[in-house]
Amino acid sequence: MTTTTATTGRPGLDDRDDLADLDGSVRGNPAAHRVLTGDRPTGPLHLGHYFGSLRNRVRLQRLGVEMLLVIPDYQVITDRDIADRLAEHTENLVLDYLATGIDADRATIFTHSSVPALNQLLLPFLSLVSVAELHRNPTVKDEIAHSSQAAVNGLMLTYPVHQAADILFCKADLVPVGKDQLPHLEVARTVARRFNERYPRPDGTTVFPRPRALLGAAPLLLGTDGGKMSKSRGNSIPLGADEDTTARLLKGAKTDADRRIGYDPAGRPEVSNLLLLAALCQDRTPEEVAEEIGDGGAAALKRTVTEAVNEYFRPIRARRAELAADRGHLREVLRAGAERANAIADATLAEVREVMGSL
């Protein structure tokens, strides 16, 4: 079903359901959409990020969808006292984006802290949510549980609203995220709805569209210890790792003692995860990979996976190394992105101030 949103005038999506269907709505009319997503600059991106989201972003961009990538540097200090090696992590994110195929001429890549008007939206937005709602947010609760800080700071509590500003400043209608981020998207939708209700334009149109989550059919990769692959758990294989490091990390991956290799995600999660990783790299099914290894055991499985990963990422890593040699170019991408993002944010803030009646 297609409706036209009064806010953007673009053919939009029915905003009653909050999950977008990639193939249905995006393929039909890519130019009608604007995607915003981002990654905190806390460490190198890994294979889980790649198969879980980066690859999908590149696909969306190639379909012709406009893409904005926020590097939320202010979000780093929600769960730690200071942002460690912030400039380095930020440049490395740009490097990973470009190396995996994001086209910087068409995408807008920028940091939170370089777009003042985006951050200013936080003030009116905070007035639209109750303190009880902030305390109830399940993702915030989970992040507080994993935080290394002794006390929860105010930025942590309000960061879903800050994230709403990330999404709404550019009126993005699609937000590719993992399941864990759905409560945040709900906050962005609530903020948009309440703002529109409280501050309609005189002609009855509204300022903000209601963004929707784009949940890809992304596979969830486990880390080498069998837990969720995570930057902070020391169990990930970074995108930019060299071939020897990849081999060493995979050699240390947890498996089991059954020599017969088979794909059984519930019964044998670690072995199945390695099969899935090889399959993703080789564009095959995990069952096919298992069949080929037969009763070669964990050693053969690891050899296969290592080769598959190194083969798949060879061109990406070569491009990454080339790009890494020119830090000036990475900074220029961020500068150009900030310029575009500031123009968008200034325009949105002007609309917000106007409907609120600010002088």
Size of residue set near ligand TRP by CB under 6 A: 14
Which range binds ligand TRP by CB under 6 A, 25-33, 79-87, 163-171, 328-336? 163-171
- Nearest to ligand TRP of 39, 96 (CB atom): 39
- Dihedral Cα 19, 21, 22, 28, nearest 10 deg: -130
Alpha carbons 155 and 162: distance in angstroms, whole number: 9
Asked if residue 171 binds ligand TRP (CB under 6 A), the reply is no
Asked if residue 38 binds ligand TRP (CB under 6 A), the reply is yes
- Nearest to ligand TRP of 39, 270 (CB atom): 39
Residue number of the CB closest to ligand TRP reads: 72
Judged by CB under 6 A, which of 5, 25, 37, 273 binds ligand TRP? 37
Which range binds ligand TRP by CB under 6 A, 37-45, 212-220, 275-283, 300-308? 37-45
Shortest separation between residue 285's beta carbon and ligand TRP, angstroms = 29
Maximum pairwise Cα distance, the chain: 74
- Nearest to ligand TRP of 308, 345 (CB atom): 345
Judged by CB under 6 A, which of 76, 93, 144, 175 binds ligand TRP? 175
- Residue 148 contacts residue 79 (beta carbons within 8 Å): yes
Shortest separation between residue 180's beta carbon and ligand TRP, angstroms = 8
- Residue 285 contacts residue 279 (beta carbons within 8 Å): yes
Asked if residue 163 binds ligand TRP (CB under 6 A), the reply is yes
- Nearest to ligand TRP of 56, 163 (CB atom): 163
User: Identity (one letter) of the amino acid at 271?
Assistant: V
Helix/strand number for the chain, H first, E second: 15, 7
Q: Supply the DSSP symbol for 73.
A: G
Asked if residue 165 binds ligand TRP (CB under 6 A), the reply is no
Q: Show contacts with ligand TRP in window 58-97 (CB under 6 A).
A: 70, 72, 75
Alpha carbons 78 and 155: distance in angstroms, whole number: 5
Report long-range pairs for 25-34 (Cβ below 8 Å, ≥24 apart).
26/60, 26/63, 26/65, 26/174, 27/63, 30/60, 30/63, 30/64, 30/65, 31/64, 31/65, 31/66, 33/65, 33/66, 33/173, 33/174, 34/65, 34/66, 34/68, 34/170, 34/171, 34/172, 34/173, 34/174
- Nearest to ligand TRP of 112, 302 (CB atom): 112
Q: Point out which residues bind ligand TRP (CB under 6 A).
A: 36-40, 70, 72, 75, 163, 166-167, 175, 177, 181
